[in-house]
Amino acid sequence: IKVADDVLIIKPIIRQYWELDHENITVMKKLGEGAFGEVSMGQLKNKKLNKVYQVAIKQAKLEKVTKEQIKEFMSEARLMRQFNHPHVVRFFGVAAGTEPLYMVMELASNGALDSYLTKNPEMPMDKRNEMILQAAWGLEYLHSKPVLHRDIAARNCLYGDGKVKISDFGLTRHGTIYQMDPSRKVPIRWLAIETLKQQIYTQKTDVWSYGIMCWEIYNNGVEPYPGMTVAEVNQQVREGYRMQLPPNVSPEIQNLINIKCWSENPNDRYGMPEICTMLQKFTGVVR
């Protein structure tokens, strides 16, 4: 196999305990295209425990991806292996002994949250409220690690067994503050005002994006700021423009999103623990 200088990046992880063998992984049906290549459903065998898991498998083909992308794939794997939470997608490991690289994770029966929302427009309000609470639990957990997700959006969550699960940790970083290279492509519609202005990421910018994702959940997965171009969003959010939620969303939740997620001053926003507390009280749903 031609691996050229990428070998240097792959070698150190081969001896890790979370390395899986290709022979224990069966790729079955293709689910879609991810950032690094195909995502498929399949099976993972654990020979010691004599168990077979239904899993999702992300593939990365070395000849098709850049070194930078392989690094991202590996850093995603490295981060994910420390997570253990019902609302964060479970990570089984990486098979990196040969090509293509496999990242193996929990299979979410309903796939990506944005497409689930699009396909199920008749969903009752109670279920939407519970979804935003579940996502809040997942993000609260990540912030407790502490990591910043930096790309909270319905497209980066999964839905399965009645649970929202935060996924796609490609941009996730350890710590509580992160300054990004201004030349990188970013999801403008999900960004907080201070990220638009200064490329700064904090727990409070994740909270803003979480608010945008709540908006998606109440709007059947429609793209945020409908009818506006990215340039218009960038300018108008800086000038104070905020989206409206549908009128049937309860005033408490309207307030939570408008004030506690989208205030211009990050100090006026809630942290994830406060959001969880508020939503638990409001919905009466407990952990």
Using CA of residue 177, residue 275, residue 142, residue 35, what is the dihedral sign? negative
- Which C-beta is closer to ligand ACK: that of 92 or that of 137? 92
- Of 213, 202, 12, give the one whose Cα is nearest residue 112: 213
* Residues 34, 280: Cα–Cα separation, whole Å: 33
- 3-state DSSP call for residue 257? helix
Least separation in angstroms between residue 100's CB and ligand ACK is 16
211 scored as a contact of ligand ACK (CB under 6 A): no
Q: Which long-range contacts (CB under 8 A, 24 or more apart) does 187-190 make?
A: 187/151, 187/153, 188/230, 188/233, 188/234, 189/223, 189/224, 189/225, 189/230, 189/233, 190/151, 190/152, 190/153, 190/224
105 scored as a contact of ligand ACK (CB under 6 A): yes
Touching ligand ACK, residues 5-24 (CB under 6 A): none
Q: Which stretch binds ligand ACK (CB under 6 A): 32-40, 117-125, 190-198, 225-233?
A: 32-40
117 scored as a contact of ligand ACK (CB under 6 A): no
* Residues 241, 226: Cα–Cα separation, whole Å: 13
Q: Which residue is nearest to ligand ACK (CB)?
A: 32
Fill in the amino acid letter for 238. Answer: R
Whether 181 is catalytic is no
The only residue of 24, 69, 75, 115 in contact with ligand ACK, by rule CB under 6 A: 115
- Which C-beta is closer to ligand ACK: that of 89 or that of 217? 89
Least separation in angstroms between residue 156's CB and ligand ACK is 9
43 scored as a contact of ligand ACK (CB under 6 A): no
58 labelled as ligand-binding?
A: yes
The only residue of 44, 104, 108, 186 in contact with ligand ACK, by rule CB under 6 A: 108
Touching ligand ACK, residues 124-183 (CB under 6 A): 158
Least separation in angstroms between residue 136's CB and ligand ACK is 20
Phi/psi region, residue 86 (left: phi>0; alpha: psi -120 to 50; beta: rest), is alpha
Q: Which stretch binds ligand ACK (CB under 6 A): 64-72, 109-117, 177-185, 194-202?
A: 109-117
The only residue of 10, 25, 44, 56 in contact with ligand ACK, by rule CB under 6 A: 56
Taking CA atoms, 274 is separated from 25, 122, 269, in Å, by 41, 29, 10
Helices 272-283 & 125-144 angle (0-180, nearest 10) = 150
The only residue of 20, 77, 79, 89 in contact with ligand ACK, by rule CB under 6 A: 89
Residue tagged active-site, from 151, 161, 168, 268: 151
Fill in the amino acid letter for 77. Answer: A
171, two tokens: 């941009």
- Please name every residue paired with 104 in a beta bridge, in sequence order, or none if there are none: 57, 93
224 scored as a contact of ligand ACK (CB under 6 A): no
Catalytic residues: 151
Q: Which residues bind ligand ACK (CB under 6 A)?
A: 31-34, 39, 56, 89, 105-108, 111-112, 115, 158
